[in-house]
Amino acid sequence: MGRIRKRTGELVVHKEHCPHLLDSYAKLLPMSWQPQAAPFCVSFFMVAQDRKGLVSDLTRLLRTYQCDLRFVHAEAIENGQARIFFKIEVHTNKEVFDILEAVRKREPHGRAEIDAATTPQRILNRLRGQHKQEELWDTMALERAFKEAMDILPSRNTHLRNPFNISRPAAPKMFFGRSREIANIQETLCNGELGKAMVLYGPLRSGKSSICTNFVEHHILFDRHARRPIWGILYSLINAQWDNEESIFSELAGRFCKKFVAQFQLTAPRWQDYDQSDPQDRFRLLVQECVAQVPHSRLILVLDEFGGAIESFENKTLPFRFFTFWRELLYEVPQLSLLFALPTSAYNLLSSTKFSNVFSFAQNVKVRYLDEIGAQQLLVDPLREQHIEVHPTTEALARRLTGGSPYYMTMLGQQLIELLNRDVYRQLITDDELLAIVEQIIQENTGNNFDFLKLELQNDEEHRILEAIVELTRQIKQSKVQSKVIADRLKRSMSIYEVRQHLDRLRDGLILDEIGPRSNPYYSFKIELVRRWLLRHREFFAA
């Protein structure tokens, strides 16, 4: 008999012991038995003649390789050309160069390069160290393309309007990168014979209210398949911390009836028309009376900032039955769909044993920060509309500083417009301008822009972990630190296991990023701007 043994991920077969068995394995598994390398991501950009099927041809080409396409973005530019940015996940350096060469052969009259602005620096260094051919490493290609765009840029106005606003949900023209979330909400809440429920949760300032507002006001479509109108109501509970059932339901009823009249030009009942003493009964009857007039419609009720209701419950103002009411209402009104939006901190309580399975009838959907394309569009498109260009490396720096947070990306844009209105001849934003406004934000001690972190932390242990990361990154002058180093610093107050548990929770809560091997990964702040602010304002940890 032959011997097959495992050794560091390999399957080793000795041919002298079992030649036939080896031949059989070779036929069944023609691939190499070497352990697969850890995947890494590389970004590319290409400029080619614009034509029908250009993107589909590219994706078809990529499918012939053992890579995963992470995203692709294409846009038409001047002179009948198109510019395409795409990111792939691969396992070997060779595959990167093979793909680049194949793309160049497919579009011989275009230009294709590795995008140095959005590919991680450590990956770039590794690739450059292995392959130094000049034709593959035209590092000035991106710079040339940018200079060409600057040469034809029209003059700007002396005073620029400021479309960036951190105090309100994003207006439609400032709503980028949420097509997947909107499509998911539409599919879940608008389709189907019966209404459904969804809980939308994520960190504070991750864009939940913008998603809710834009969905209700601009993305609710007539259901052509079921031939029924769809209408939605958005109600925010942000200031409901001390509200009781009577005040919440009466105000919601007023909003409900006003929208019903505007939508269908029908008569709506009034809150005071009902003599029931129980506000739940009155609201239930009001909803049923309205939807009975349009029995084939679909009503979507969006309760934004639902954490306000949970705070009212904790303040002993709202009763527990307020939360069980929504399941009952959903079952009693088949045309109704429900969307609850709340921050992670409130969602954790909603998922605790205190609430048990109260919201088990709803689909849970986590809101993440914007992807690279969405974050880029949020910053660059409103500036470009006013003939301001952002250097590609500066776009990448802005994404690293904000982690794709729409709130902080909007804050940067807002500050950049103010800078440009002081320097009326400037049309180019570089790293220098971006870092200047970051320093201004940090120096101004705008604690209200960073206080969300206190609400997102669940306990003192997480507080101490973040403080340790801030101090360690200051000492080593890097933005990331390994988990074992963090655990060693905190060993007097927490075990390694406890530290790892909290780090996992902070990663899941989109406060920290985890990079590297699972055995001893590096951790960094998801939003680098937050870490820089904490470095300057250590009083945050003393509060």
The reported pTM is: 0.76
**In what helix (H) or strand (E) does residue 302 lie, and over which residues does it extend?**
strand 298-304
Q: What integer pLDDT is reported at residue 507 of this predicted model? A: 92
Whether 49 and 114 map to the same domain: the answer is yes
Contact call for residues 331 and 196 (beta carbons, < 8 A): no
**pLDDT > 70 in the chain, percent:** 87
Characterize the bridge pairing of strands 111-114 and 40-49.
antiparallel
Whether 383 and 469 map to the same domain: the answer is no
Q: What integer pLDDT is reported at residue 383 of this predicted model? A: 95
Whether 291 and 213 map to the same domain: the answer is yes
CA angle centred on 39, ends 34 and 28, rounded to 5°: 35
> Which has more confidence, 145 or 213?
213
Mean pLDDT of 470-475: 94
C-alpha distances (whole Å) from 432 to each of 158, 349, 379, 398, 429 are 21, 43, 16, 12, 8
Q: What integer pLDDT is reported at residue 136 of this predicted model? A: 45
Domain harbouring 404, CATH code: 1.10.8
Whether 399 and 324 map to the same domain: the answer is no
Whether 377 and 493 map to the same domain: the answer is no
Mean pLDDT of 52-59: 88
Q: Is 418 exposed, middle or buried (0-12, 13-18, 19+ CB in 10 A)?
A: middle
Instruction: Show Cβ contacts of residue 154 under 8 Å, excluding neighbours closer than 6 positions.
Output: 387
Whether 215 and 92 map to the same domain: the answer is no
State pLDDT tens for residues 156-197.
999 999 999 999 999 999 999 999 899 999 999 998 889 999
What is the sign, positive or negative, of the torsion defined by CA atoms of 53, 375, 342, 479?
A: positive
- The verdict on residue 158 lying in a domain is no
Q: What integer pLDDT is reported at residue 4 of this predicted model? A: 32
Structure tokens at 14: 């000795």
> In the structure, what pLDDT confidence band is assigned to residue 140 with cuts at 50, 70 and 90?
low
State pLDDT tens for residues 257-266.
999 999 899 9
Give the end-to-end CA distance of the chain in Å, rounded to a whole number: 70
Question: How many domains does the chain contain in total?
Answer: 5
Closest CA to 319 of 243, 236, 238, 234: 243
Characterize the bridge pairing of strands 68-76 and 81-90.
antiparallel
Whether 122 and 251 map to the same domain: the answer is no
- The verdict on residue 159 lying in a domain is no
Residue 120 has pLDDT above 70, yes or no: yes
| CA–CA dist 382, 389 (Å, integer) | 10
State pLDDT tens for residues 1-26.
333 333 333 333 333 344 443 344 33
Neighbour tally for 310: CB within 10 Å:
24
Which range of residues forms the domain containing residue 229?
Answer: 178-366
